[in-house]
Amino acid sequence: MLSEKTIEELRGIVGGEHVHIGPAELVAYSYDATFQQHRPDVAVSPACTEEVVEVMKLAYREVIPVVARGASTGLAGGTIPVSGGILLNLARMNKVIEIDKDNAMAVVQAGVVTAQLQKEVEKVGLFYPPDPASLNQCTIGGNVACNAGGPRCLKYGVTRHYVLGLTVVLADGRVLRCGGKLMKNSTGYQLPQLFIGSEGTLGVVTEVILRLLPLPRVRSTATAFFSKLEDASRSVAAIIASGILPATLELMDNVCINASADYLSLDLPRDAQAMLILEQDGNDEAAVRKEVERMAEVVKAQGAFLVKVAATSKERDDLWKARRGLGPALGRLSPNRFAEDITVAPGRIPEMVHRLLEIGKEFGFQILVFGHAGDGNLHPSILFDNTKPGVMEQVEKAAEAIFDAALELGGTLSGEHGIGTLKREFMEDALGPVALSVMKDIKKALDPKGILNPQKVFPQRASRKGFIMALPTLGNDLPG
């Protein structure tokens, strides 16, 4: 509980209408895209870096937890204010400050929605490649904090490859400006990289300088359908081994194909066990078409029974609708879904897919598989109904088996969603004790009072047991 004096002070910083303490408002700020929920004591929406500075100085002085929030589309529990305190909503900081065409760079506030930035830079012939499927909602600040990826990241890289500079408000309210409008910079430690992927635990990102590319003029998209999931997963490595670097190589299994077809009334082969979306882009139409034809040959050799090249932009948009609409489409299949984000080397996808099918059988769940297969990043999803007695224990065991399998295959826990509360108990297994203790030292140096996004990223329990069940879940925290 915060004192009335603290709430008044916050009102003085951001204006009374941007300080929310009503029960309904606090519930609205208690969720992300997982099943978790916990209310903050107050939600505050600053308009600029200076206001964030004043909020942080107050929080530091009074030792109040602060959780930065973009659009709360996170899939790891990162914005759940599990320790209460101040929820710092950055949605009002949504200005594209500058598009510098000559240098192919953009300067944006952290709350800019990713798709908004993409549209604005495309108007002047530039291109911001990172494209999380949530791009119509998520923010650049959230993308930086999670090092977000997306379908195009196989060819173009993830958020960290585009961040040239950051403005970060530190735990004690100091403003750190690091990097700059510079393509090369070897002056000291690469501080922007330290904050990328730090999930709001090291500082609040308020402004970002991004690198842009020329917008490719041509894009060609095809879909390949398989009667065996294993054939599709083998095709991923075969395409990359053939010397082609596709813009996109997305995998969807049979349940995902049918869920999308139902949700969006699309005409897709219902009995296909897997579908790959193959896309290439560039500036030379003939060369792009040739690479898509070459990919079609490779997947046919691996067992694809049908390959369709989108003939019109409407057909291409429909394919992308199917992929980007997967979240809500799958949401209709069961009351709950545990969606994971493991990553292995692309060549190990067939083994990983095999392990997922085995884990599904062992624990009695259907585990859906989709993801950015080209870069080895899969989103296996367990569908369940958490009102059924004992089901959460089984989900936990199946999820644990998925993480263990990914680590055994030389992979990692998260390719793009981050750790948050959901995977923190597995961090030592994934990183080893030395890397984890270096991370703890960094955290302590930058946030000695531990006020920035407490209980995230770092393990909180002696054992993994209860790693999901101990989390505050939806419905436990609703006001009476």
Q: Which residues bind ligand FAD (CB under 6 A)?
A: 32-33, 67-75, 78-79, 90, 110, 132-134, 138-139, 141-143, 145-146, 148-150, 199-200, 204-205, 327, 416-417, 420, 453
The residue (of 338 and 363) whose beta carbon lies closer to ligand FAD is 338
Q: How far is the CB of 315 from ligand FAD (least distance, A)?
A: 22
Spatial CA neighbour of 398 closest among 345, 350, 356, 459: 356
Give yes or no for a contact between 165 and 180, defined as CB atoms under 8 angstroms apart.
yes
Shortest Å, Cβ 90 to ligand FAD: 5
Q: Is 96 exposed, middle or buried (0-12, 13-18, 19+ CB in 10 A)?
A: middle
Residue whose CB is less far from ligand FAD, 74 or 269? 74
Residue among 231 and 375 whose Cβ is closer to ligand FAD? 375
Q: Which CB sits closer to ligand FAD, 328 or 475?
A: 328
C-alpha span between 180 and 187 (Å, rounded): 11
Q: Which is nearer to ligand FAD, 304 or 452 (CB)?
A: 452
Decide whether 49 or 280 has the Cβ nearer to ligand FAD.
49
Least separation in angstroms between residue 286's CB and ligand FAD is: 31
Q: Which is nearer to ligand FAD, 114 or 223 (CB)?
A: 114
User: Do the beta carbons of residue 209 and residue 106 sit within 8 Å?
Assistant: yes
Can you read off the two tokens belonging to residue 194?
Answer: 């330290």
Q: Are 133 and 327 in contact (CB under 8 A)?
A: yes
User: CB 25 → ligand FAD: shortest distance, Å?
Assistant: 16
Q: Quote the least distance from Cβ 379 to ligand FAD, whole Å.
A: 8
In the bound complex, what is the minimum distance in angstroms from residue 12's beta carbon to ligand FAD?
22
In sequence order, which residues have a C-beta less than 8 Å from that of residue 189 and are 6 or more positions away? none
Distance in Å, CB of 119 to ligand FAD, minimum: 17
- CA distance linking residue 31 with residue 99, whole number of Å: 33
